[in-house]
Amino acid sequence: MKVIVVGAGEVGFNIAKVLAGEGHDVVVIEKDERRISEIQDRLDVMVVHGSGSQLSALEESGINDADMLIAVTDSDETNIVACLIAKHLGVKKVVARVQTLGYDEPTGMVARKIGIDLIINPTRVVASEIFHLLQVPPASQVIEFAG
């Protein structure tokens, strides 16, 4: 599967590393030249210098034959725009990480309406996991059965 990862911070780098390790064709779009050198030294992926919200960088990455785009830059807007462009160009699955509450409203209606397959907000995910953990009461009593 061909996957484009927009943004090579800690999350993007690790996503690219895992996907490349599983044999996927991975292209990383990154605007920081120092980060590009590190990626090229450590990963077997193609790297494009640019912004994922620029059509030229997306075209250089081979967007027209990509199966998935994962946008994980520090900019919610860049991530959303990259996904919208990718979806418009025929990419089957697009995923955006966002950090602003509201972009990821719980019903997922906004994501579906604009065509993004998955919007992930790490803060909301962590809060949700903690909430679920608190909903499961700890054992108040341990009873041994004779066996």
pLDDT computed for residue 130 by the predictor: 74
pLDDT computed for residue 134 by the predictor: 75
pLDDT computed for residue 60 by the predictor: 98
DSSP state of 64: G
Round to whole Å and give the CA distance between 40 and 141.
55
pLDDT in tens, 75-84: 999 999 999 9
pLDDT beyond 80 at 111: no
Span 64-89, mean pLDDT?
A: 96
Would you say the C-alpha torsion 29, 50, 105, 128 has a positive or negative sign? positive
Domain annotation for the chain: domains and CATH numbers: 2-121 (3.40.50.720)
pLDDT computed for residue 100 by the predictor: 76
pLDDT beyond 90 at 105: no
pLDDT beyond 90 at 4: yes
- Using DSSP bridges, classify how beta strands 2-6 and 25-30 pair: parallel, antiparallel or unpaired: parallel
Q: Exposed e or buried b for every residue in 54-82, given b needs 16+ CB within 10 A? A: beebbeebebeebebbbbbbebbebbbbb
pLDDT beyond 90 at 99: no
